[in-house]
Structure 1
Amino acid sequence: MSTHQPGGDRKRAHPASDVQRLRRWAVSVAMFASCSTALAPGIASADSCLPTAVIGAAGTGQGPAWSPPNGVGKDELDAQVGPQVHAAITAIADRLGPLEVGAINYPATGLEPFDTGAVTARVAYDISAYRMSKDLGYSRAYEKLKKEAAECRSKKFVLVGYSQGGHIMGDLAQSVFHGNGPVDRSRIAAVVLIAEPAYNGPSPRTTEAIYSQGKLTQDQDHWSIGGSLGQRAAFETNDPVVSICVYGDPVCDGKDLFGQDGKPKAVTNKDMHFLYLGHPFEGVKDFATWAGVQAARIIQPTDPPGPAPAELPGKPSTPPAPAPPAREAVTIAQADAKTVTVTVADAAGAGPRAVRCWNATDATHNWKTNYLGEIQISIPRNGTFTVTCPTAPKPGTFSLEFFNWRWSPAIQWR
């Protein structure tokens, strides 16, 4: 396998056929946090109210903040969102037609779990440039989603991320699905997470691939694996999330130091992180494309349901479908100058977890003024517990971040 740079294959050329496809789709590529809009060559800006928009986040070492791959101009899609995200977007556009594509411009720097090992990666996380990079990417993605949703109220969104970008998009999706995001959950059409470091194997719609003798095959046993930087709370069955990982990828399969065969994992085997392109999977050109196909099927099923059959005379009406189960509840209340009382019900994020205090909501990460420190707590499935912030909050907006699970509702600190 050829040598790869962290976060992506820098030697991948941008095929002319891809550019032709993009022209047909009229895909606009908008750089967030930029003074201008960058468009792929020869592509006219798309209607701002197309039915579906994609927000893409490239992986570490990719995206607008980094030099483009060889042979790719900085205004082309590969350079904006990275080749793995681009492959998934291509599959979605093949099925849905015209899309808008917005790229998150964030540092995409920091910790490399496949260079440091899973244990070191977790210990170093809180003092790493990765944390600052990921949280800044989250803030920009949050604000972009909020802005675009307000500009066109009929538009739905697809969130796609690879590696660190997947970490960002997974966090943003969980904020939305738990009622703490900038839009209602109904406006998220699908989410695609590729090789993210908070991967949760048992979560619905996760798929692992086994790489052997130059081929990728789907694992039918579906082993329980987790990301190198923790394991996010599982998404629910009705959350439109597709998440993929290759066994042995030290980024998304870094929870344990030993593999299923009992042998130590090769944590420095960074090539495993780049197997999402270039290897056919389940009859599709590669694993990243396959993930995009699955997301497209969620958005637009192959066989849409037909009209309901007419009621027969004397036949009772069909009972309504049961209401979806209530989502876990989290409430917080100020107890004293530094302490918060937290009550949870059916908490999907139960267990040992890092909890951060913020003089902010999840929309605003200002580390110098809003971050109040972190403590480790074991969260019960149901019950009440307290969080004592390392630094006393200031009067105003306050919330708790339960790492890799969700944010609390905001309260006013007094």
Structure 2
Amino acid sequence: MVSALTLLAFPAGIANAQGDPILCARNGEIAIIGARGSGQSANDFGGLGREVDSAVRAIARSLLAGDPLQVSATAVDYPAESVSVLAGTGAGRYWAGVEQGIQTTISVLSRTASEMDSKGSACGGPRIILVGYSQGAMVMHRVLNRLSTERNHRLLDRIGASVLIADPDKIPFEQGIHMHPWYMGYSGGVSGNFPAFSGGRLAFAGNVRNKVFSVCQLGDIVCAANPATFLPLSIVQLAGVGTHTSAYASNQFGAPQAAAQQVLRAVQGG
């Protein structure tokens, strides 16, 4: 199931991805697929959550500043379980929810790509942007890895960019991705501290890295994790949680705009 945003939720020019057909005239359609973070309600911000909604709006403003085109945004409908369930008996439910998010995103990707394919060359090129925050960033990270592992070039070639905000699967010092801010490239996500539990972190394949715009704030316990911060009642841990939940509400360090411009250059042949 896919939850789509309504036309009224956005400035003029952004369409309801579920109800409106994809239009490919001039620069055509750009489709955004977003996944909210852990514990965020499917009823808020059109199902995107606060951080992804903010990033989607920034992408749309950047895209709509140029030649007229159609921008759609679709929220992935998945559980987005709170991380609190990991401390109890709900860990299986949490990871099952992540897997549901991966599968649902790939389903939305496939449907969107098929509709674009049906429009012919006017709707060609990498016209899809993935956006995720926290657990949603993990979902999008793993979508890219799964498509790469499965050599699903049909869908990979349709993805022009992915904005991963506070990604738990972030790899330290990964080369070839776009890091925002640049100096946070050293940081690694929390998944690496619990590999047996999380499945660990998997580096992006070479054909994917240039599509990745990773966002991480200094001190974020999720994307800039340090094992020492997981000591009980750690002041650093509490600060890290605060950074994670407040740093990205209105600032993604230019990543959405950079992602939008990369996609525009690709579809315009620039």
Q: 1:173 deviation in Å?
A: 1.4
Q: 1:164 deviation in Å?
A: 0.6
CA–CA distance in structure 2, aligned partners of residues 107 and 265 of structure 1: 30
Picking from 63, 69, 91, the partner of 1:96 is 63
The equivalent of 2:263 in structure 1 is 299
The residue type paired with residue 89 of structure 1 is: V
Question: 1:79/1:24 Cα in 2 relative to 1: closer, same or farther (>3 Å)?
Answer: closer
Picking from 206, 209, 220, the partner of 1:249 is 220
Q: Deviations over 1:342-400 (max 9, x none)?
A: xxxxxxxxxxxxxxxxxxxxxxxxxxxxxxxxxxxxxxxxxxxxxxxxxxxxxxxxxxx
Picking from 33, 38, 41, the partner of 1:60 is 38
The equivalent of 2:171 in structure 1 is 200
1:107 is aligned to 2:79: yes
Q: 1:223 deviation in Å?
A: 5.3
The equivalent of 2:53 in structure 1 is 86
Q: Deviations over 1:156-190 (max 9, x none)?
A: 21111111111111111122334444834221111
CA–CA distance in structure 2, aligned partners of residues 219 and 144 of structure 1: 31
The equivalent of 1:287 in structure 2 is 252
Q: 1:194 deviation in Å?
A: 0.4
Question: 1:112/1:251 Cα in 2 relative to 1: closer, same or farther (>3 Å)?
Answer: farther
Q: 1:243 deviation in Å?
A: 0.6
Question: 1:82/1:128 Cα in 2 relative to 1: closer, same or farther (>3 Å)?
Answer: same
Q: Deviations over 1:280-302 (max 9, x none)?
A: xxxxxx226x2101101211249
Q: Deviations over 1:95-134 (max 9, x none)?
A: 2232111111111104259xx8xxxx8xx89944321111
1:228 is aligned to 2:190: yes
The residue type paired with residue 47 of structure 1 is: I
Maintained 8 Å contact 1:92/1:296: yes
Residue correspondence of structure 1 range 21-40 to structure 2 within 5 A? 22-30=10-18
Which runs of structure 1 show a deviation greater than 6 angstroms over 4 or more consecutive aligned residues? none
The equivalent of 2:111 in structure 1 is 147
* Identical residues among aligned pairs (%): 25
Residue 207 of structure 1 aligns to a residue whose secondary structure is strand
Q: Deviations over 1:185-204 (max 9, x none)?
A: 22111111000111123223
CA–CA distance in structure 2, aligned partners of residues 305 and 139 of structure 1: 31
Q: 1:57 deviation in Å?
A: 0.5
Residue 152 of structure 1 aligns to a residue whose secondary structure is helix
The residue type paired with residue 242 of structure 2 is: D
Maintained 8 Å contact 1:110/1:133: no
Question: 1:172/1:87 Cα in 2 relative to 1: closer, same or farther (>3 Å)?
Answer: same
The equivalent of 1:398 in structure 2 is none
The residue type paired with residue 84 of structure 1 is: E
Alignment gaps of 5+ in structure 2: 1-6, 65-69, 118-122, 193-200
The equivalent of 2:22 in structure 1 is 47
Q: When the two structures are superposed, what TM-score results if normalisation uses the length of structure 1?
A: 0.49
CA–CA distance in structure 1, aligned partners of residues 265 and 255 of structure 2: 15
CA–CA distance in structure 2, aligned partners of residues 265 and 175 of structure 1: 37
Question: 1:23/1:206 Cα in 2 relative to 1: closer, same or farther (>3 Å)?
Answer: closer
Maintained 8 Å contact 2:14/2:60: no
CA–CA distance in structure 2, aligned partners of residues 126 and 228 of structure 1: 18
Residue 257 of structure 2 aligns to a residue whose secondary structure is helix
Question: 1:139/1:207 Cα in 2 relative to 1: closer, same or farther (>3 Å)?
Answer: same
The residue type paired with residue 298 of structure 1 is: Q
Residue 266 of structure 1 aligns to a residue whose secondary structure is helix
Alignment gaps of 5+ in structure 1: 1-17, 31-36, 38-44, 69-77, 209-217, 279-285, 307-414
CA–CA distance in structure 2, aligned partners of residues 305 and 103 of structure 1: 28
The equivalent of 2:120 in structure 1 is none
CA–CA distance in structure 1, aligned partners of residues 129 and 58 of structure 2: 12
User: Root-mean-square deviation (CA), in Å?
Assistant: 3.3
Question: 1:197/1:152 Cα in 2 relative to 1: closer, same or farther (>3 Å)?
Answer: same
CA–CA distance in structure 1, aligned partners of residues 14 and 82 of structure 2: 34
CA–CA distance in structure 1, aligned partners of residues 89 and 236 of structure 2: 20
Q: 1:207 deviation in Å?
A: 2.8
CA–CA distance in structure 1, aligned partners of residues 78 and 135 of structure 2: 11
Larger Rg: 1
Question: 1:235/1:192 Cα in 2 relative to 1: closer, same or farther (>3 Å)?
Answer: farther
CA–CA distance in structure 1, aligned partners of residues 222 and 236 of structure 2: 12
CA–CA distance in structure 2, aligned partners of residues 112 and 235 of structure 1: 32
The equivalent of 2:3 in structure 1 is none
The equivalent of 1:392 in structure 2 is none
Greater share of strand: 1
1:136 is aligned to 2:94: no
Structure with the bigger RCO (C-alpha within 8 Å, sep 6+) is 2
The equivalent of 2:4 in structure 1 is none
The residue type paired with residue 14 of structure 2 is: A
Maintained 8 Å contact 2:23/2:29: no
Question: 1:149/1:29 Cα in 2 relative to 1: closer, same or farther (>3 Å)?
Answer: closer
Q: 1:235 deviation in Å?
A: 4.8
The residue type paired with residue 205 of structure 1 is: I
